[in-house]
Amino acid sequence: MEHLVGIIAFVIPVVAIIGGISMGIVRTVTQARLEELARRERIAAIERGVDPAKLSPIPDSELSGYGLGYSRLRRAHGLLIGGLITAAAGLGVSAFVYSMEPQKTSWLVGLIPLFVGIALLISAKIIWPPQGASGSGAS
C-alpha cells in the first residue's frame, strides 16, 4: 500500500504539468487557426469586391494585446485565482502534515506552495489595471 501511495504522489504532479503544458499548446494552436481562418475569409471577401472598410476587423489574439486593458485584467484575474489556490494548498499541506506528526518540523514543506501563492497574489496586484483603464469594467 505504501508503494502505491508513493507512486500516486509522484504521478499526480507529473500529469498536472503535462496537462497544463498540453492545454497551453492546444490553446495557442487553436487561436492561431481561428485567426488564420478569419484572415482567409477577409481576403476572400475582398477578392469578391467587398469594400475592406465595411468588413469587421480581425479579432486580435489574446497574446497580441498583453499590455492592454482586457488582456491585462484577464491575466491579473488568472494570477489572483492561481495565487489563492496555491496559497490554500500550501496551508492545507502544512496543516495535514502537522496533524500527522505535530512534534516534527516536516509541516514546513507546506510553506513552499504558500509562498508561491503569495508571490502570485503580489504579481496580480502589480499588473492589475488602474481604475478607469479601458476594458477593466466596474467591480
Burial of 40 (0-12, 13-18, 19+ CB in 10 A): exposed
pLDDT on residue 139:
40
Domain span at residue 33?
Answer: 1-64
pLDDT at 136: 42
Positions in the chain short of pLDDT 70 = 1, 59-70, 132-139
Q: Is 108 helix (H, G, I), strand (E, B) or coil?
A: helix
Q: What share of the chain is helix, strand, coil (3-state, %, to 5)?
A: 75, 0, 25
Asked whether the whole model's pTM tops 0.75, one would answer no
Spatial separation of the C-alpha atoms in residues 26 and 42, rounded to whole Å = 24
Q: Quick one: 55 and 107 in the same domain?
A: no
**All cell numbers assigned to 81:** 485565482
CB 81 within 8 A of CB 121: no
Supply the pLDDT for residue 119: 93
Question: Do 60 and 19 share a structural domain?
Answer: yes
Domain check: are 41 and 69 in the same one? no
pLDDT score at 69: 47
